Each structure stands twice: as C-alpha cells, then as structure tokens.
Amino acid sequence: MDIRFEPSRGLVGELTAPADKSISHRAALLGAMAAEPVRIENYLHSADTDSTLAAIQALGALVQERDGVITVRGTGLREAREPGGPIDVGNAGTLMRLLPGWLAAQEGRSFTLDGDESIRRRPVDRIAEPLRLMGARVDARDGRFAPFTVHGDRLHSISYELPVASAQVKSCILLAALAADGATTVGEPARSRDHTERMLLRAGVSIHRNGKHVTVVNADELVLDRVIVPGDPSSAAFAIAACVLVPGSRLLIHGLGANWTRTGFLRILRRMRGIVVGDLESESGELLAEEPICDLDIAYGSLEGTYVDPEEVPLAIDELPLVALLGCFAEGETLVRGASELRVKESDRIETVVEGLRGLGADIEATGDGFAVTGTGGLRGGVIDAAGDHRLAMMGAVAGLASREGVTVRGMQAADVSYPGFVEDIRALSR
Ligand code: S3P
C-alpha cells in the first residue's frame, strides 16, 4: 500500500501512546507460564502481539478478552502442551527469541517455530547456544534460522556472557532459568531493556541485578495477578520526532512508559537540544519492580548533531532510524557507532535507512556499525520503500511531514506489526 505524506504545517494536540509491544509480549508469555490467572490491561493488539496470543493458546493457555482486559489462564512453568503443528511467530522477533526459553524446559516435548519471510532471515543461534548449554537441543535450518525445533529437557543453570547486548536473548535465558537447577547469571556488554526482570520480580521470583549482570534463581511457580501495559516509547518516538522537526508543532503525550532502559532516544534528543519536558525515570543501581509512566510535552525547535556511542545503542535500538532522520535536519554531524545489531532487525536497518533517506535527499553514509549524517537543513522528499519493516515505514511518514516536497511510503501497511492506527493518529495531529 502506497501512502503519501505531504509537508505538514505543524503537529498539534494530544496523543495517548499505543501500548508497549515488548511488555505486551512478556505479559502474555509470563501469563502462559503462571500458576494463577493473569489479567492484562491495555494489551497491544498488533500483528506481532496477536501472534503471541495465538502461540500461547496453541501451547495450552486459555485467553479471554472482556471490556479490553485480557485474562490468561496459563499451564504453569513445566506443562506447555505440544501443539499439532509448527507455531507461527509471524514477523515477531521478540516472540521467536523469548518463547524458546520456556519451551526448552518442557521435558520430553518438541516444538517447531516458523514465521514469515523476514523472520526466516533473522538469526536464532544466539539463543540456541545458551539453551544447548543449559541442556536443551535446538535444531535450526542451516544451524541458525527458522524453521527450528526446540527439544525440551531437564535444564541446568549456567553463567553466560552475551556477546552482544540483546534484551531478547537475555530474556530467553532468564525464562529458561526459571526451571533450571539453581541460580543462572547473564551478563551483557551494555544495559538493555529490563522489562522481563521487572515482571519476574513482580511475579515473586528471586532475581537481582549487579551492574550488567542479572541473576535469577529457579522457581516453583509464577504469581503475577495483574499487568498494566504502559504506552510504548518506541512507537511514540515517531510522533515525537515529527513534532520536533515540523515548525509550529506542540504535542502532549500521555501514559508513556518512562523506564530508563527505554528512554535512550529521549536522552539523545535532549542532547540534540530537542524540547522534551517530562518526568523520566533516572538510572537506578538496583532492579526495580514497577514500570513507571509519564506525560511528555514536546515542541518544535532547532537541533544540533550528536554522537551516539555503543553503550547507548541498546537503550535506543529501535529509534536509531529516527536519530538518522533528526540528523538530516540538525546542524553539523550526527554519528551512530556500535550498532551492527541494526543489520539483523526486520530489515538490514543500516542499509535501508541509509538508502531510504539518501533517496529523499539526505547526506548520509553507512559505516560498518552505524551511520554518519551531515545535516543540510532539511529533506527534499520523494519515495521510500518500507522494505517490509514497520519502523522504516513510520520513519518515511515522519520524513514526509517534515520534508519540503512530501514523501510517498511504499508498503505502509508494515506499520501494523507494532502500531496499527499510526497513519490515522499522525493525520489527526497534523495541520
Ligand atoms: C526487544 C528487544 C530489542 C528490540 C526489539 C524488542 C524486546 O531486540 O529491537 O524490537 O522486546 O526484548 P534485541 O534485544 O535483539 O536487540
């Protein structure tokens, strides 16, 4: 589906951010693993998170929805049912990487996971290796791609250092560790989002963090009761970027997740002199249980280029395409380093962002592990192909609103995997 976004005369108004995708996936999965029913309020209904609800039902969980509240009646930690056929993860990388952690602990049962064309290009060896070390077997196509089969077994605890910071891989190990025989420790080279840790803490699990290491002790059961999903900072980031780039804009965003591990983009934006007012969580030495929320007040303003260093990358990983876009409008150079993970997202986001923005008139170069943008005061506009990648589609739309001539996005429907209603929301705010 091609959609055209004409230059905007300002985005003005209020927006309730769509529900958080990462937290929705985790709430459904932990609900399926829990001993008692879990009520989930404000669950995100998108293609990705609907895949998770379908997957847990195939594994024996009951899912009911009434008045916008989802109740999951799970099977418990060790009683997932073997489904009749492969589990379809669709386009959802988070589901594909987290679910095997639970499945690995299902002794004597096997589970095959498969998904769409894009998911079949995304590596799973990063979870297969630690799960094998814990005692499960994972057979993947060419050793590293879907379709792959997880053969559940009795698991042992491990100490594991992640080669790259990834909340998905960390979470997979933490879920497997719940049914292992002792305490498992996972270390990462840089902090990544910690929603799994917070939710496990709320579910009564013994879990703690020491710097970049998390240790979890095996558990008999999870008791979670109720999860309220906050607004997704990565989805709201598109409206936020449009607001800071289009002269005359002023937006209030309500109910946004303020977890420090998810607000790296807002810190980068503030460093670029973007006007962002709100009560964001500060960095904490210890593991917190709650997911704080805040309101944000954003306004248009001129920007300066910045340097995003490798430690910041996991804290803003899904928003880095927007950092590139902001860089096109900022004064000076914007440089992102240590972001080779972008190459294994829904598309190779270093290539697709650089090619896409260059096609709209940007002065941008790919580097091995990121990109360098030189601000030229704006963007001409043109046509951008979403390459089946939701974040690229939404970046293209924002580029159109802020451009001189407008942008046509090819494949805008990709946005539905994380933000159904994006086009309507952005049009309602734009003058
Ligand atoms: C996610 C973690 C990130 C992120 C993805 C969602 C999660 O992936 O890009 O959109 O919910 O854990 P990695 O942890 O693989 O970087």
Closest CA to 21 of 75, 88, 80, 90: 90
What pLDDT sits at residue 104? 98
Task: Indicate the pLDDT class of residue 358, thresholds 50, 70 and 90.
Answer: very high
Q: Over the stretch 73-102, which tens digit does the pLDDT of each residue have?
A: 999 999 999 999 999 999 999 999 999 999
Q: How far lies 278's CA from each of 190, 252, 297, in Å?
A: 25, 10, 6
Q: Over the stretch 145-179, which tens digit does the pLDDT of each residue have?
A: 999 999 999 999 999 999 999 999 999 999 999 99
For the purposes of burial, counting CB atoms within 10 Å of the CB of 368, is it exposed (0-12), middle (13-18) or buried (19 or more)? exposed
Mutate to test the pocket of ligand 1, among 46, 48, 94, 175 (most ligand atoms within 8 A of CB): 94
Both tokens of 36, joined, read 């008692």
Strand order across the 38-41 sheet: 62-66, 69-73, 38-41, 226-228
Task: Indicate the pLDDT class of residue 19, thresholds 50, 70 and 90.
Answer: very high
Q: Over the stretch 111-130, which tens digit does the pLDDT of each residue have?
A: 999 999 999 999 999 999 99
Percent share of the chain, pLDDT over 90:
99
- Among residues 318, 389, 416, 425, which one is catalytic? 318
Q: How far apart are CA 243 and CA 250, in angstroms?
A: 6
Which residues surround ligand 1 with Cβ inside 6 Å? 22, 94, 166-168, 171, 192-193, 317-318, 341
Atom of ligand 1 nearest to the CA of 341: 16
Q: How far apart are CA 362 and CA 404, in angstroms?
A: 12
Q: Dmax of the chain from CA atoms?
A: 61
Measured in Å, residue 281 CA sits from the centre of ligand 1 at 20
Q: How far apart are CA 146 and CA 108, in angstroms?
A: 21
Do the beta carbons of residue 295 and residue 253 sit within 8 Å? Answer: yes
Do the beta carbons of residue 236 and residue 262 sit within 8 Å? Answer: no
Q: Over the stretch 216-255, which tens digit does the pLDDT of each residue have?
A: 999 999 999 899 999 999 999 999 999 999 999 999 999 9
Which residue's CA is the nearest one to ligand 1's atom 11? 22
What pLDDT sits at residue 410? 98
What pLDDT sits at residue 195? 98
What pLDDT sits at residue 274? 97
The one-letter amino acid at 75: T
Which residue's CA is the nearest one to ligand 1's atom 5? 94
318 catalytic, yes or no? yes
The one-letter amino acid at 10: G
Do the beta carbons of residue 111 and residue 103 sit within 8 Å? Answer: yes
* Sign of the alpha-carbon dihedral angle for 353, 357, 358, 360: positive
Q: Which residues contact 320 (CB under 8 A, 6 or more apart)?
A: 308, 313, 336, 339, 342, 349, 353, 370
What pLDDT sits at residue 357? 98
Q: What is the mean pLDDT of residues 22-34?
A: 98
Question: How many C-beta neighbours within 10 Å does residue 267 have?
Answer: 16
| Chain position carrying tokens 């008139």 | 361
Q: How far apart are CA 79 and CA 61, in angstroms?
A: 10
Task: Indicate the pLDDT class of residue 406, thresholds 50, 70 and 90.
Answer: very high
Measured in Å, residue 94 CA sits from the centre of ligand 1 at 6
The one-letter amino acid at 320: L
Closest CA to 167 of 189, 136, 150, 144: 189
Do the beta carbons of residue 134 and residue 208 sit within 8 Å? Answer: no
What pLDDT sits at residue 348? 97
- The mean of the pLDDT values for the chain is 97
What pLDDT sits at residue 91? 96
What pLDDT sits at residue 210? 97
Q: What pTM was estimated for this model as a whole?
A: 0.98
Task: Indicate the pLDDT class of residue 200, thresholds 50, 70 and 90.
Answer: very high
Query: CA geometry: angle at 328 spanning 327 and 332, to 5°?
Result: 65
Atom of ligand 1 nearest to the CA of 21: 11
Q: Over the stretch 264-304, which tens digit does the pLDDT of each residue have?
A: 999 999 999 999 999 999 999 999 999 999 999 999 999 99
